[in-house]
Chain A
Amino acid sequence: MLQMDLDIGDFCSNWAHCDLFSAYLARMVSHNRLDSLLFSNLYSSALNELLETVFRVHGNSGKLECSVRRQGGLDRIELVFPADEDTFAVYREAIDKLSGKDAEKLYLEALFTEDEPDASLGLLELGVDYGARLAIDRAGDGRMCLVAELTLEDENE
């Protein structure tokens, strides 16, 4: 397991943090995979979308914790970050969309909307395109927890 903690304000002081952290963590977790480079590129893409979502949608102040672990073929990413009710609702809504029958249609709509893409597009992508299992919960201290479980390598390969 690997964990990173930092103040949400520090994290959000620079957009490039999303890219840097996802690249760094991807490198750390990509050892002993079928193909470390393919894996790390996919992992970084998925984690980057999660971090970009948190960058855009989060509560006022507090800590951001990111922990990642591997359980066999499954990779689990857990993000805990400040979230008021409105913030939580954004994530709730995305997860509701994903649990419905027309998740794929909603994802494509979000992807090709004429307007600015919605902040939850990344979550929809993870659910539909990456087949990730997403879950959320309140963390008690004014924060929320977002968990993504990913299977990035095809065992049959």
Chain B
Amino acid sequence: MIAENSTQSFQWTYNENDQEFALHGSLRPQKAEELSKCISALDQSVSNVSGKFYVNVRRLVRMNNVAFHAIAGKILDLVRGRSDLDVHVTTSSVVGWATRKFAVLETMSEKITVSEYDSEFYPGQSFVEDSEFIHVLRTQTKLTWKHEKDLLREHGLKPGMQVADICCGIGDFAVLLQKEFSPDRLVALDHSKSSLDYARQVAADFGIKGIDYVFGDAADMLLEDDQFDFVTCRHSLQVFDRPELILKELFRICKPGGRIYVTNEKNSHCLGEPRGESIQWTYNEVAKLWHHFDMDIEIGPKSRRLLLEGGFEDVTIGSFMVTSTDGDPQGFADIIASWKNLFAGKMASERGDDAAFVERFAKGFDDHIFAALHPKGYAGWPIWVASGRKPL
């Protein structure tokens, strides 16, 4: 449902299974009557609910007092008029005013609770924001950059462009971009506060200026439409449970004629010799493990299809392999060691894997490390790179 006039548009949806009414967009009406359809939709939704009713304003970006008065007043009426009803309001930390503003509802009634939606933002968040993992990202970027530096050019990145790196993690890729391609503007966005703190600190320590690190949700960004010549999103569609939502946003912020560039893995294709079989078994299990947590670590080769279905044209896809013979076998081994820690550690135990499984699972990582450091060995980690142009 969309209510639209010249500057504002907002929508609401009701999810009956979750008893959740969600508001989305920009809500700055002149008169409360402009919200009457939305309010009656809310009334209707709540009429079949007892127990807890959820109001989700996570994706409500702007709201004036007219709208707040109408909606908050409605919520108060509900809990006061219906003894069988409690209301929970979920806000987002991405929208700075929201939690403070809605929190006053808690002071008005004990039957209203308000909380900020930040952790459990997507299924794998606790793994991805793990401090151990933050560390591994650094080594990963160091090794992938050797390949990507040239690939980025081939995919259309030029100096002086307006660039965004979405899901930037700890921001090291943005730093490399800044040094190598001197973009005219560089925005780096992530939904991990700890990663951004780290990124800002690194930039400050190295005296790197001009990178705009911003907190946000890649699936619903506060960035405006048609802004960037080149939008990158690396190793991230694969950790979010609904990659098509992020792609839609990458499309939106990209200028017509600009390109988006995504990299993704297919972990089951990691390889090594000697001990190839054990390695292969373990990485097949990695794919299943991520799948268990609603993430698709196998997206790599599917990127072409994702981009084409996302409305991009002139889509190109290729792959490269980070290997133990790139010049830094120890770096390669370090990456695998931290994968082992996370995958055969926290993730496996959270899935409830038994000791025998974990032992065999961990062994494949050890064998991969063995292959990487073996004088006659070879170990590889393949990555798919795809880019596409937003039509003019």
Contact = CB atoms under 8 A, between A and B. Distances in A.
Contacts of B213: 35
Given A36-B212, A37-B215, A129-B101, A121 B65 contact: yes
A111 to B, nearest CB: 7
B214 A35 contact: yes
A130 B30 CA distance: 22
B61 A41 contact: yes
Given A37-B215, A42-B97, A117 B65 contact: yes
Contacts of B2: none
Given A16-B6, A45-B62, A38 B214 contact: yes
Interface stretch (B69-77, B151-159, B241-249): B69-77
Contact of B222 (A37, A48, A52, A108): A37
B64 A16 contact: no
A37 B190 CA distance: 12
A78 interface: no
B8 interface: yes
Interface residues of A, number: 34
* Residue among B65, B73, B200 with the highest chain A CB neighbour number at 10 A: B65
A152 B32 CA distance: 28
A111 B68 contact: yes
Contacts of A112: 69, 72-73, 76, 108
Contact of A48 (B64, B100, B108, B215): B64
Interface residues of B, number: 41
Contact of A38 (B32, B96, B107, B200): B96
B214 A18 contact: no
Interface in A11-28: 14-16, 18-20, 27
Given A36-B212, A112-B76, A18 B96 contact: no
Contacts of B49: none
A35 B215 contact: yes
A149 interface: no
Contact of B5 (A16, A27, A52): A16
A127 interface: no
A40 B97 contact: no
Given A41-B62, A41-B95, A41-B97, A111 B69 contact: yes
Interface in B185-221: 187, 189, 196, 200, 212-216, 221
Contacts of A111: 65, 68-69, 72, 104
A49 B64 CA distance: 7
B188 to A, nearest CB: 11
B223 interface: yes
B66 interface: yes
Interface in B25-57: 26, 28, 30, 32
Contact of A15 (B30, B101, B189, B215): B30
B223 A37 contact: yes
B7 interface: yes
A94 B28 CA distance: 22
* Residue among A45, A114, A117 with the highest chain B CB neighbour number at 10 A: A45
Contact of B62 (A34, A35, A48, A114): A48
Interface in A101-157: 108, 111-114, 116-117, 121-122, 125, 129, 152
B121 to A, nearest CB: 16
Contacts of B63: 45
21 contacts: A15-B30, A19-B28, A27-B224, A31-B212, A35-B213, A36-B187, A36-B214, A37-B189, A37-B214, A37-B216, A38-B214, A45-B97, A52-B66, A108-B107, A111-B104, A112-B76, A113-B69, A117-B69, A121-B65, A121-B69, A122-B65
Given A41-B222, A111-B65, A125-B65, 8 more contacts: A16-B5, A19-B8, A36-B212, A48-B64, A52-B66, A108-B107, A112-B76, A117-B69
Interface of A: 14-16, 18-20, 27, 31, 34-42, 44-45, 48-49, 52, 108, 111-114, 116-117, 121-122, 125, 129, 152
9 A-B pairs with the lowest CB-CB distances in the bound complex, closest first: A15-B30, A16-B7, A37-B214, A42-B96, A37-B222, A117-B69, A19-B7, A16-B6, A38-B96
